[in-house]
Structure 1
Amino acid sequence: MDIFESFCRTCGNECLESLSIYKESAQALDKMVPISDMLAACLPASLPPLNPEDDYPKQICRICVKKLSMAFEFSHQWLGAHSEFNVALKFEQRRRRSQASKSQSQSQTQGQAPTHPAEPKNEQLPTEPADAVTPKIQSEREIAPSTVEAKSSTDSRPGFKCGICNECFYTEKACKFHFKFSHKDL
């Protein structure tokens, strides 16, 4: 139907300069993305999917395209951060399970009962200046330069090491996440 010929599908206002939802693309995430793809990604699942054959308006105004691009970028940013947090949380859970199993096996091999959490520990923590909050990350290049050069593409050893607890990581980003969440009090 042509009764909506000059109306924006997203805001419902009449617009003189509009773009076709199904034929045009807009700049988002440093590339051109079809407007229909951005709309499909940002619309709630409870709405019916976009259909070029329906009777609704087939155009979108430039103001709504800018808003849509921002919403699309925000959605991708949120999903990326959520994914990174999931990786960090899974790593932390594995690390804690590993530490618990190591301490349990050590106590069994040494014939000691596990220490009670209320008992004070006589550990001395290293003292650092209060302004030393930057992560201590060492790449394998700093640790052992000869091993990095000999590393093949099939070698899957971690390449980054936390300077505080010596945990190893495959990426610098994972190491920074570890530092941020595991050593947040430093």
Structure 2
Amino acid sequence: QEGITFLLFDMETPGITVRPVPLITGESHFCDTFLDNVEVPKDQVVGDVGKGWSVAKALLVHERTMMADIEKNMPKPKFSVDDYAKNYLSTDENGRLQDGLIRDRLAQHMIRDEAIKLTQRRAFEEGMAGDFDMRVATIFKYIGTEEKTNKDTLITDILGMAGAGWDTDNFSEDEQTKTHEWMSNKALTIAGGSSEVQLNVISKRALGLPEI
């Protein structure tokens, strides 16, 4: 972290090569970037020379906070997880899901989701009062993206074979969308720092645990 300088540059600058990394969905949210003898003006340095880590940390806080609540930046889903369960699974005479395992997983998701939202709200209000703890961004990024993938997996399991649709007339548009989301959203646990990296940061920076 010492001696890092934060530098902005135009991606069209000569010497920069970008190679998209295709995902299983055909999209490319990631890329390999190569810099060969790239030169940019000194006035594109952000902050002080050798002090770029402070800038990078501030940027990471915003990025991870945004990714922690990534669904706010997505179109509102047509159905909730509960809706999918009621529409695709059998219920008893009281309207309760007959599949006890799915019922348990659904309850766990709803509890975790509500807990995350309430904790994010508390952190936001503390931040507005000038008492924001930068360590919570990493924690939110981890739990937010992991719960998003858990939710997508739960919906896919609820859909069963209907959750395996891909560009065919045998599946509804919504079913194909959910399959696409399930396949692509795992990348959220990698972008902005993988979940494994986040856990290391949390253990060291937030909890102060010793290195082994």
* TM-score after normalising by structure 1: 0.28
Q: Which has the higher strand share?
A: 1
* TM-score after normalising by structure 2: 0.26
Higher RCO structure, 1 or 2 (CA under 8 Å, sep 6+): 2
Q: Which has the higher helix share?
A: 2
